[in-house]
Amino acid sequence: MATLGTRDSALRLAAVAARAGQSRGGIPPALGEAMKNICWALIGLGALAFVVGTYMAFTGQNFLLAPQGYWRGAVGFAVFAIAIRLMDDPRR
């Protein structure tokens, strides 16, 4: 009988946490939103780096880096954004 009471109280605590907007990992919703905003910023920077690298490749100009450097940066931003999203995964 004690086991049932423990399960029941755990379910009640989970329901209270869900209503409060907290994920199972205990991450506050504001932090989750900040992580999403950071990911979108990284994706935007990656897209900008890709466009700049493509423009420089077609015009034959160099500004600070060769076009391949901008493309590598774009891939790096994308991979970093994916890694941040995976760390924030609520399925763990």
Phi, psi (deg, nearest 5) at residue 30: -65, -40
Q: Which two tokens stand for residue 74?
A: 């774009």
Chain position carrying tokens 């493309």: 71
Q: Is the pTM of this model over 0.75?
A: no
DSSP state, 64?
S
Chain position carrying tokens 């209503």: 19
Q: Which two tokens stand for residue 85?
A: 């999203």
In the chain, what are the domain boundaries? 26-87
pLDDT band at 51 (very low <50, low <70, confident <90, very high): very high
Mean pLDDT to the nearest integer, 10-15:
60
β-strand partners of 65:
63
Reply yes or no on whether the pLDDT at 1 is more than 70: no
29-33 long-range contacts, Cβ below 8 Å, gap at least 24? Answer: 32/88
